[in-house]
Amino acid sequence: MYLLMAPGIAAGALWVAHTLSGAQTAGFSLKEVTWYQYAFTQARAIFAYVRLSALPLGQSVDHDFPVSQTILGYGAIYFILLLAAVIIIAVWSRKRYPLACFGLLLFLILLAPTSSIVPIADPLVERRLYLPILGLILIACQIASRARWSTGTVSLIGAMLLVLSALCYQRNQLWSRPEQVWADAVQQSTGKGRPYIGLADSLIAANRCDDAVSYLQRGEALMPRDFAIQVAWGKIFECQGKREEALEHLERAAALQPISSVYQMIGLLYCEMGRKEAAGDALHKAVELGPHNSPAHSALGLWYEWMGSTVEAEREYRQAIAIYPYSTEAEAGLDRIHKVAPASLPSPLLTPEFLRPGPGGSRKRPPM
């Protein structure tokens, strides 16, 4: 039976290895963290997942979970020893508590693709628990089967279920207001700037740019040289019409982390300011740094369209679609060239389609 499974397992392993070799946010080529540092961190993350399952407090759409650079960092060694002890005890007691042992091993196996030694940019993400939580449920079933159910115990559990149900409903209500979800993540984040970009995007979409200022002031006080916070400032200032201030912060971001997406934003901001040559330089730099960044090609196509070079614009739009077939900005550009060909370009240029690129140039990122 296992030999019959072997070809499928081998094919799956090769496919995963091929995917990771070109991934920007996962794999052994990830610069931010090594495989052993990620393993140290995940020993802590596993217990954080268990705690969130039992007591769902401190939830966040983007957790600020620091990496253990060494085996002693953030007490990683103690979590490793505790995890090893739990596994040994579970296996030793498997005949007496078979369901609990199976549940624990199932939980760890299902969590292994994202919580083992393969580095991923985000150490702790709640959605990774959706399937592995089945193992924890089996452990709870084993405990329930051995418990003595008195009237008081049943009443206590019933009260707990009511409270948790109310908290679950409140959490779902919160998700209907994206800006509140991101504001909650920002309040919990003291060392990670990325939630501030999510907050800025959601407030821009809600036409509430001014509301982001107090959050960003707090973030910059905590993290004065954070790339993401500088990008968030750039977006908010652009939304407020303060283009020079926006440009200043985006250039600070580029100095901290010279990547394709930030040069793309700088180039489009130069377009808004009417600075054609500077816009072209920044957008060419964006494509040079991110040849597989679909929105960067679309933005460069927009610049060529602005300059009246429709052949080059079409080339960039088609390149964007070749990278990401669902690029609405590239499709709109091709429509303008072939059907409308207007003398002026859409305004504002800094639209969410261009300002929110994800890995591979797609802003519709399926997070891991």
Q: What is the pLDDT of residues 289-344, one digit of tens each?
A: 999 999 999 999 999 998 989 999 999 999 999 999 999 999 999 998 887 544 44
On average, the pLDDT of the chain sits at 87
Specify the higher pLDDT residue, 25 or 290: 290
- pLDDT band at residue 366, thresholds of 50, 70 and 90? very low
Which one is the CATH code of 178-361: 1.25.40.10, 3.40.1190.20, 2.20.25.90, 1.10.3720.10?
1.25.40.10
Token pair listed for 210: 């001014």
pLDDT at position 352 over 60: no
Handedness of CA 315, 290, 23, 351 (dihedral sign): negative
pLDDT, residue 68, reads 94
Q: Which residues of 34-46 are buried (b: 16+ CB within 10 A; e: fewer)?
A: eeebbbbbbbbbb
How distant, in Å, are the alpha carbons of 27, 65, 112, 203, 263 from that of 60?
Answer: 24, 11, 21, 18, 29
How distant, in Å, are the alpha carbons of 13, 185, 228, 277, 354 from that of 341?
Answer: 48, 43, 36, 22, 20
* Amino acid making up residue 280: G
pLDDT at position 22 over 90: no
- pLDDT band at residue 30, thresholds of 50, 70 and 90? confident
> How large is the average pLDDT for residues 35-57?
93
- pLDDT band at residue 200, thresholds of 50, 70 and 90? very high
pLDDT, residue 262, reads 95
pLDDT, tens digit, for every residue of 215-265? 999 999 999 999 999 999 999 999 999 999 999 999 999 999 999 999 999
Query: How buried is residue 87: exposed, middle or buried, by Cβ count under 10 Å (0-12/13-18/19+)?
Result: middle
pLDDT, tens digit, for every residue of 79-129? 999 999 999 999 999 999 999 999 999 999 999 989 988 888 889 999 999
* Size (the chain), residues: 368
- Predicted TM-score (pTM) of the model is 0.81
pLDDT, residue 368, reads 36
Token pair listed for 103: 């549940």
pLDDT, residue 24, reads 67
pLDDT at position 136 over 60: yes
Residue with tokens 């089945």: 134
pLDDT at position 210 over 80: yes
pLDDT, residue 36, reads 92
How far out from the chain centre does Cα 253 lie?
A: 19
pLDDT at position 349 over 90: no
Token pair listed for 23: 């991934």
Handedness of CA 24, 30, 35, 36 (dihedral sign): negative
- pLDDT band at residue 364, thresholds of 50, 70 and 90? very low
Of 113, 117, 92, give the one whose Cα is nearest residue 38. Answer: 117
pLDDT, residue 23, reads 66
Parts of the chain belonging to CATH 1.25.40.10 = 178-361
Of 39, 48, 116, give the one whose Cα is nearest residue 70. Answer: 39
